[in-house]
Every structure is written in structure tokens, then in C-alpha cells.
Structure 1
Amino acid sequence: MPVTLRPLRVAAAQAESVAGDLDANVATAVHLVSAAADWGARVVVLPELFLTGYSPQAWLPELTTTPDDPRLEPLASAARERAVVVVAGAAVRRSGPDGSAQRFTLSLLVVDEAGEVTAPYDKQHLFDTERAFFAPGAQGASIVVDGWELGLGVCYDGCFPEHARAAAEDGARAYLCPSAYVAGSEHRRDLYYAARALDNGIYVVFAGLTGRCGGLDFSGGSAVYDPEGRALGRAGIISPAAVVADLDPVEVARVQAENPIARDRLGSLGGRSRVVVAGPRP
């Protein structure tokens, strides 16, 4: 007999990150996770590169991390003690099969309720200066929590409709997208992720970096969008802060049935014709 999917409470959390200070950022993450757990959150999403800091000056080999980094233990302990799953952005160091070659990825670390840390997703669409240090990810990824398939993306990924669409087509009912938007880009921030929710009839959990990190100012705006693209809550620029919301499988099913974009999307738009209906004026 199939298990009935129940609502899932999630938190999109934000705070200031200190460029290059993993210990300080882990301590802040533990605070955010504990507060979200007090509100009943089962999944806590933290911003892009939160554990490393979104600052090119902090993107150095010696400041990267790995899933087995002992400095992550306080965050692993918090996840274990509060029985939550944590998704947090970090600069990750990856070795080749022989242990010699190294590359650096802008990744999501996932800490499960047993305190195990993995790095299942590397950002595929790198933005601007990120390309100078990070290697792009080669594939999409989802995690499953209490039967909920949750697609993973990072910031610029969510600007491309096909990224969230691939997750939804693979069964995701929600798309988690940690991000870092500089102050002044709020109009784009508030459009992209609402659109990804509406495009696919799924929830989108957006956790945005806020405050100053290195030489940049970030706009926060953490939010959870429902399957019709409406913000169930938004955090503004406050630090620390979190938006907590329940993801409802019934709502996903209702919206996808009433607005079946996935079903009605054409596999191909065919060729293109061009008809000149008026020439240039003399």
C-alpha cells in the first residue's frame, strides 16, 4: 500500500556570511538551524556559498571544504540533535579518481538527520567571476526527504527555465535554490524564482544571502513560493531571518491539474517562417 505524502515544513534562512571564515559561518548556520527547528522545520535551506562567503577574495584552494571536513561537525551535530536536513552552499574541493587532480566547485552541502554530510550538487550555470575559480557541475540532482523529491539548484541555475523544469520532469515537487543577489537586483530576484514555481506547478524555496560579505552588499529576500508563484513569505534584508512554510502535496496536484503547462508544453516548435509585410519607408 503506498505511503501517503504528508506536508513538509521547510525554512528558507538568511544571515550575513563572513568571507573566508568557515568556523564563524558554521556557528551562524547552527543558530539558524536551531531557530528553524524550533519552528518545526524539517528542511533548512541556507544561501549560496554561505559557509565560504560569497567573495572572490575568499575563493582560494586553502579556504575550500570537503564533506568530511571536521569543522562542519557543529552543523552535523545540530542536524542530528534536531532531526533536520540542512542544505547549505559552500566552495568544495574535489579530487580526481587517483587523488591527485583537484577541481573546485560551487556546491550544495547536504547534512542529513544522522549528521552525514554529502555534496550531491555542483552549480551548473556559473556567473561572471565564478568561472575564474569554479568548475561547472555536470549533472542535475535531487534529494528525497520524507518521500518529497526536492530538486537542487544554485542562484543563476534558477534563471534558466529548463533547470527547474528538468527537476520537475524527474518528479520533484519542490525546487531548492540557495542564492546570493547583490543589492539593486531585487527586481530580477523576485521574478525568476516565482516564475520557476509557476512554470512547473511546484514549490520553490529561495534562500538569499544578506548583508555585507567581502566587498559586496547582498539583498536577502529569502522566500517560499507556492505552485502558483505566490510568495508565502519573504524575509526582506533582515539578518538573521527565516521564512517557514508548509509544502502541501495536495496543492501541487491541484495546480498541476488546473494549469497543466508540463502536459501542454510542445516537444518542438518546429521551423520558423518569416513574412515581410511592409518594406522600409523611403
Structure 2
Amino acid sequence: MNAPARLRVAAGQATSVPRDVAANVATACSLVTTAADQGARVVVLPELFLTGYAAEEWRHDDSLALDASTGSGGPDERLRPLADLARERGVTVVASAAVRRALDASTLSAVVLTPDGEVRAPYDKQHLCGLEEQGFFTAGDHGATIVVDGWELGLGICYDGSFPEHAASAAAAGATAYLTPAAFFTGSDHRRDLYYAARAIDNGIYVVFAGLTGTCGASSFSGGSAVYDPEGRAVARTGADDPAVVVADLDIAEVRRVQDEVNTVARDRRDSLGHRERLEVGRAG
């Protein structure tokens, strides 16, 4: 399927309430409605937005009851308003939640609600950040891409975007944009703004970043939702506003122009740099 020349996307942010899925779904519906009213076909929401980024509240329970054995199911009735809205407005929503996979195993996952009303959890965060995430969640074991209107959209979650190879793997598989629900603690704005611009310019692709904002449990978050173009420039961005939605058009011609003419780093990247020579010069001590 050939992708249309342009795809309108949105990144939304707001405060999430720990473990109150119904309240977070209501906020998500408001964000998605605002984005859909501006013509967005894809809406990305922050990391753990549906269940809350508050480590002190994480439990292995039915915070989000997806059928993990098939990777789909439900939707949990608390998700029904968001699933119905995605169908009614013809949008794809990429949200994030803690998903129970087994009795004592949960993943930090991307939850995708499709225009046909289905709910999927196709991707689990592979790079868990810090001892709290690493001590509670099970890391994902595969990458994932969704296809919307012919556009290949790679999925990552927050810390995944700190690793160049993660977005590079998506781009190598054909992704022309990288969607990243995220939650950056207040004070880490400088890293947030460097990482995702770098992932765009590393690969000549768009990056859609949705950052949690406000206070959730004991932590505060800095927002910063943005869309970066294939040269790493923010074509839409907000600060710590709550709530906020940024909207931008992705242009397939711009991806091809940058990859073929402007910054060919993705094409020129070597599979291996070979062995490393070590040369000692001078006398130690």
C-alpha cells in the first residue's frame, strides 16, 4: 500500500491520575477530540498515561485487563469510551499503560486503539529505566511497527529513545516516523530535547514525542511534547502546559529528500566497524 503524501499527527499531554483508568481515559478522550478536530489521523499520548506513572502505586493486578495471551482483547470496559471515540473519529490512538501479562508479571506497554474500535498492546518497553521500572516490569523482547494509511510508524517508549539503535532498527525496517510515549521527570528537559531530535536526524525520519506533565504520585513531569522533522527540527512543540496538544503534518517527500540528498547517515551507516586497534604512546607512570 502506498502511503499518502502527508499524514497529520498529534502529540497530547496532561496530568495522569495513578491507577484511575476511568479518569485518565476521560482526559485522553478530551485530548484526542482536540487533535481530531484539527484533522489528526494519529494521536500519541504519554508513557503510562492510562494507569499512571507512580511507582509507589504499581501492582500486579487488573489495572488494564487486556488479553495478554493473544496481545489483544477487551477492551476493558474502562477503555470503551476511548475505543469508541477512536472508531467514531477515524483516528489511531497510541497510548501507554501497565499491562498485566501473567499473575506476577506486568509490562510497560504501548496500547493502540484503532479506527475499527479494536485495542492492541503490540509493544512492550525494551529499555526499562531505573531500579523501580527494572524491579517491577518485564522488558519487551521485540520491536513493533504500526501501519496507518500506508505510513510505517515505529514504536518506542521513553528510555528506548535514548538508544540510537532502537530508532535505527525501526527505520531499517521501513519506518518513516518513530512514535514515543514518554515521561521525563522535571529537571531532565535538556536530555529530553536532545534525545528525540537526535533520533530524527540519525535516521532522517519524523519523531512524535508525547511527554507526561504535571504531578503523578510523588513525581512531577516536564511535558515537552513535540514533533521533530527528519533534520531534527521541532516543527511543533509545547512546554509543561497541562493539557496541551501539538499537531503537525508528516511529509513523505521530506523524508525521501533528507534521506537521499541532505543527510545520508542512515544509508551510510556501516553494519560493523571491525576490530579496534589499541596503541599505547609514551611511558606510564
How does the TM-score come out when normalised to structure 1? 0.95
Q: Of residues 79, 89, 109 in structure 2, which corresponds to 1:82?
A: 89
**Which position in structure 1 is the counterpart of 2:245?**
242
1:110 to 93, 112, 132: 112
Kindly report which structure 2 residues correspond to 1:1-282, keeping only aligned pairs within 5 A, or say none.
3=2, 5-62=4-61, 64-67=63-66, 68=74, 69-95=76-102, 102-128=104-130, 129-258=132-261, 259-280=263-284
1:238-265 CA distances to partner (integer Å, 9 max, x unpaired)? 0110110000000000000021112211
Q: Structure 2 counterpart of 1:124, which letter?
A: Q
> Which residue identity does 2:29 align to in structure 1?
V
Native 8 Å contact 1:66 1:94 kept in 2: no
* Structure 2 contact 61–100 (Cα < 8 Å) conserved: no
* One-letter amino acid of the counterpart of residue 193, structure 1: Y
* Separation in 2, partners of 1:105, 1:179: 15
Deviation at 1:26, TM superposition (A): 0.4
Q: Point out 4+ residue stretches in structure 1 off by more than 4 angstroms.
A: none
Compute the RMSD of aligned alpha carbons. Answer: 1.3
Matched residue SS, 1:178: strand
Q: For residue 280 of structure 1, report the CA deviation from its aligned partner.
A: 4.5
AA at the equivalent of 1:207? A
Q: CA deviation at 1:235?
A: 1.0
| CA contact 2:196–2:209 (8 Å) conserved in 1 | yes
Q: Which runs of 5+ in 2 are unaligned?
A: 67-73
- Contact 1:52–1:58 (Cα < 8 Å) also in 2: no
CA distance in 1, matches of 2:279, 2:176: 42
Task: Give 1:18 shift.
Answer: 0.5
**Pairs aligned (count):** 275
Identity %: 64
* Structure 1, unaligned runs of 5 or more: 96-100
One-letter code of the match for 2:230?
A: P
Counterparts of 1:102 and 1:220, CA distance in 2? 31
